């Protein structure tokens, strides 16, 4: 098992890629603290995986972030891995939200949330003697624009910009913390079947269009992304740092 004896925090653990990552990490021998703003989803996750620790929290609130990291350290006396999987799209903010409200909320969760969690995790890793791994969940939209065949953007959708910021945060942290033995990488999924995309993939025409945009001819699964996250978190990826790995069925290679 690649993560035997490692301790990990997974944010956004209540659904999608976060849940798949919790499952994969447990299979690989890790001890996991799962966190999510959705306490109901977190409780359901704990029922499915009784061995995990849980702590509800909003990644955009520094006090709650600190409490999540402190809970992991208190339980296991160290933190080895952070997976920043919490994220939202403009579609999740609300139909009545203004342009600025959508922009601010997406940036607050996707960028500020990833930064705050990473900042607290790095401090915990340093206090435990140094070394660790951070894996951010970005998106293929972090280095491409929304295709015009899809009705997702009027040119001001905050999601691509937020995930572009996550990619650059990953590179900057990867360079800065390499000498301390802390590796920072990111995955950049293409369109994946999760709760985040369900409100658009339920439309057969939109789903067909999305599938056609991927050379693989289909959307990905949360488990396929979690497999790559587990690799990046493991010692098998010991010389991978500051990288953003596309997990997109060839989408970004076109």
Diameter of the chain by CA atoms? 53
- Centre a 10 Å sphere on the Cβ of residue 56 and count the other Cβ atoms it contains: 18
Catalytic status, residue 146: no
Spot the catalytic one: 103, 159, 231, 251. 159
φ and ψ at residue 132, rounded to 5 degrees:
160, 180
102: nearest Cα among 162, 180, 49: 162
- Centre a 10 Å sphere on the Cβ of residue 85 and count the other Cβ atoms it contains: 32
DSSP-assigned letters across all residues of 211-227 = HHHSTTSS-EEHHHHHH
Q: Which residues are catalytic?
A: 159
């Amino acid at each position: 098992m690649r993560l035997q004896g490692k301790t990990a925090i997974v944010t956004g653990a209540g659904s999608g890629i976060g849940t798949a990552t919790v499952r994969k990490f447990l299979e690989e021998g890790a001890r996991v603290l799962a966190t999510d703003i959705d306490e109901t989803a977190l409780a359901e996750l704990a029922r499915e995986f009784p061995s995990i620790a849980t702590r509800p929290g909003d990644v955009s609130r520094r006090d709650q972030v600190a409490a999540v990291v402190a809970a992991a350290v208190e339980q296991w006396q160290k933190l080895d891995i952070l997976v920043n999987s919490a994220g939202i799209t403009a579609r999740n903010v609300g139909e009545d939200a203004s342009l600025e409200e959508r922009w601010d909320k997406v940036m607050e969760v996707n960028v500020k949330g990833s930064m705050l969690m990473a900042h607290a995790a790095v401090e915990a890793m340093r206090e435990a003697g140094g070394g660790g791994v951070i894996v951010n969940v970005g998106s293929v939209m972090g280095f491409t624009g929304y295709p015009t065949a899809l009705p997702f953007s009027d040119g001001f959708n905050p999601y691509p910009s937020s995930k572009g910021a996550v990619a650059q945060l990953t590179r900057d942290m990867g360079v800065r913390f390499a000498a301390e033995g802390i590796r920072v990488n990111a995955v950049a999924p293409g369109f994946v079947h999760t709760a985040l995309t369900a409100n658009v993939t339920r439309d057969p025409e939109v789903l067909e269009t999305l599938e056609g945009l991927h050379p693989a001819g289909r959307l990905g699964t949360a488990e396929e992304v979690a497999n790559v996250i587990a690799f990046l978190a493991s010692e098998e990826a010991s010389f991978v740092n500051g990288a953003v790995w596309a997990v997109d069925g060839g989408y970004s290679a076109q």
